[in-house]
Amino acid sequence: MNFRLFRILTIILSFFLLTGFVPILSFVGPGVTVLTSGNIYKASAQLIINQRIEEETGKNSLTLIRETLIEETEKKVQNNSFDEDLRQLVETRIKITRQKLDNQNLQKLLKKRIEVTRSILDLNNITQ
């Protein structure tokens, strides 16, 4: 009896797998859901949603999600490259501004030192 049942199930299973009669992957997900959770309603909802997505987009749900994720990562990469360019621009402007401020501070310090040195040497009263 068991061997006969096994042969019948093998023939039916091979018919489904080898002929492409049913898109087997669309039944695997709900089947796993039924086996793991025991919730038939959840599995049937998953099957209906997958079929509806395939009707609307022509792609199965996994392909649709993968393409959506790829598009989002490409957008993030583009935004990150823009952010990187902006960051580099701001950093160069900050370096230039610091350099100018340092030059101004050096000039002020130099003028102050010259004045101090002149006052020490009393060169203000001497004309050249």
CA distances for 30 relative to 47, 54, 60, 62, 64, angstroms: 6, 15, 14, 14, 18
User: For the whole model, what pTM was predicted?
Assistant: 0.35
The rounded distance, in Å, linking the Cα atoms of 75 and 52 is 27
Question: Does residue 124 register a pLDDT over 60?
Answer: no
C-alpha 121/C-alpha 115 separation (Å) is 10
What are 89-110's pLDDT values in tens digits? 899 999 999 998 888 888 888 8
Domain ranges of the chain: 2-95
Comparing 28 with 12, the larger pLDDT belongs to 12
Classify the C-alpha dihedral 34-39-44-50 as positive or negative: negative
pLDDT of 59-84, one tens digit each? 877 788 888 888 888 887 777 777 78
